[in-house]
Structures are given as C-alpha cells and as structure tokens.
Amino acid sequence: DSGVTQTPKHLITATGQRVTLRCSPRSGDLSVYWYQQSLDQGLQFLIQYYNGEERAKGNILERFSAQQFPDLHSELNLSSLELGDSALYFCASSVGRGGDLAKNIQYFGAGTRLSVL
Amino acid sequence: QKEVEQDPGPLSVPEGAIVSLNCTYSNSAFQYFMWYRQYSRKGPELLMYTYSSGNKEDGRFTAQVDKSSKYISLFIRDSQPSDSATYLCAMADRAGTASKLTFGTGTRLQVTL
C-alpha cells in the first residue's frame, strides 16, 4: 500500500457528463500529481500541485481542471466527457521539498478507472 | 517521436532467467531516472531510482544509465513468476517541486514456470 488513496475505484458515465476524481496524498506529502493512462498513450502527466498551488502542467485538456485543498487532498474534474476520455487516472504524491530526489519520489495510488459510454 | 521509447513486449522468459529491459530517450535534460513496476489493475510502484550515469544495484535488480547514449536499462536476475508485471521507465529533468515524470509506454514481462 503506497499510502495514496484514490476514490472512486471505478466510474461509469455517459458522454457529455462531468465527474470528479478524488485523491488523498500520503501523510506529510505536499505535492500531488495527476496522470492519465490509456492503452495507446501510456502514462501521461496532466498537472501538479504543491501545497495548494499549481506548479506544472502537462497535456491537460481545457475540459479538465484540478485543485488542491488546504487539507492537501486534490480533485480532478473532467467535464463534457468524450469516449476517448476513458482511461485509468492516477494520482501520485511526494514530499516535494528541495532538490533531493529522495524527497521527490512519486508514490502512486491504485487509480480510478473511468469508462465513458 | 516520443521523448521516451520502450519496447512494449510482451517479453516471456523462463523462471531463473536474467531479464534485460531498456528505454531510450531524446531529451538530454533528463537526469533523474526511475523504474516502476505495475501489476495488472494496480498503480505503478517504484523499484529503483538513479541520478545521472552509472549503475545501481538493489537485490536482484540492477539499473544502468548511459547518458552519452541516452539509454537506460533494468536487469532482473533469477527472475521469478512474481516478477510478471509491466515495467515502466520514467525520467525527469529536475528533482524539485516541478518534477513531472515522462514515462515510457511500459514493457510487459511474463516469467513462466
């Protein structure tokens, strides 16, 4: 168990809908990362938050947004869902301090499997 | 062309074999290299990480980085059926608070009895 908790485990929804994925980082971790894993693209970085602030952005669609709350949990919001958004969505967390790699190792949750029908 | 290339496999080996998994990359700014293992329907778990070029050993696992060739490897000695999983290489250009990981697509490994 990595200590990163993601809910729900599975989501089945229809095109055009909006969903929210939730992530609780490991105790003491300030950074949260979101990744999308699909069969053809592999794991793709979406966005990172550090202590409530957005720090890095990857190939995240405008229909997707995220935030990190004062208690450090994070939510990824996906709207106007399309069939192609069906994927595994992973959250990872790290301590996120300084330039020491050991403090920035990312630990992954078990993921949320999203199916858009 | 992807920044990180990894042979998707599947790679099937008998129990006890030495396994070699590899990734190549194009971004010369990458200096932190990681290997993750992912079992079916689970999240990736970190196996090893290295900084810059060289070798690192941890039990049955050895990670090698050759920055001049932009090539990294993971060797698994005495492979076991429990090693059957997808192995993902990952890289970053910095270790700090903005360190997004760039992953290979993963190599699926099957260790047979």
Name which of A40-49, A90-99, B23-32, B76-85 the model is least confident about: A90-99
Chain B: which residues have CB within 8 Å of chain A?
Answer: 32, 34, 36, 42-46, 49, 51, 88, 90, 94-106
Chain A contact probe: residue of B97, B101, B107 with most A CBs at under 10 A: B97
Residue B70 has pLDDT above 80, yes or no: yes
- Contact state of B36 with A108 under an 8 Å Cβ cutoff: yes
Q: Which amino acid is at A4?
A: V
The Cα of B69 is separated from the nearest Cα of chain A by a number of Å equal to: 23
Look up residue A50 and give its DSSP letter: E
User: Quick one: average pLDDT of A76-100?
Assistant: 90
- pLDDT, chain B, mean: 92
**Chain A residues in contact with B102 (beta carbon < 8 A):** 45
Spatial contact of A31 and A55, defined as CB atoms under 8 Å apart: yes
Spatial contact of A54 and A71, defined as CB atoms under 8 Å apart: no
Interatomic CA distance for residues B88 and B48, integer angstroms: 11
The minimal CB distance from A58 to the residues B34, B36, B100 is found for: B100
Spatial contact of B70 and B28, defined as CB atoms under 8 Å apart: yes
Chain B contact probe: residue of A89, A104, A114 with most B CBs at under 10 A: A104
User: Quick one: average pLDDT of B79-102?
Assistant: 88
Spatial contact of B45 and B35, defined as CB atoms under 8 Å apart: no
Which of residues B28 and A98 earns the better pLDDT score? Answer: B28
Chain A contact probe: residue of B100, B103, B107, B108 with most A CBs at under 10 A: B100
User: Quick one: average pLDDT of B64-80?
Assistant: 95
Q: Which amino acid is at A92?
A: A
The Cα of A107 is separated from the nearest Cα of chain B by a number of Å equal to: 7
Tokens of A49: 């938050």
Interface of A with B in 66-85 (CB under 8 A): none
How would residue B94 be classed by pLDDT, with cut points 50, 70 and 90?
Answer: confident
Find, among B9, B32, B31, the residue nearest to B21 by Cα. B9
- Contact state of B43 with A48 under an 8 Å Cβ cutoff: no
- Contact state of B96 with A104 under an 8 Å Cβ cutoff: yes
How would residue B25 be classed by pLDDT, with cut points 50, 70 and 90?
Answer: very high
Q: Which amino acid is at A34?
A: W
- Contact state of B43 with A111 under an 8 Å Cβ cutoff: yes
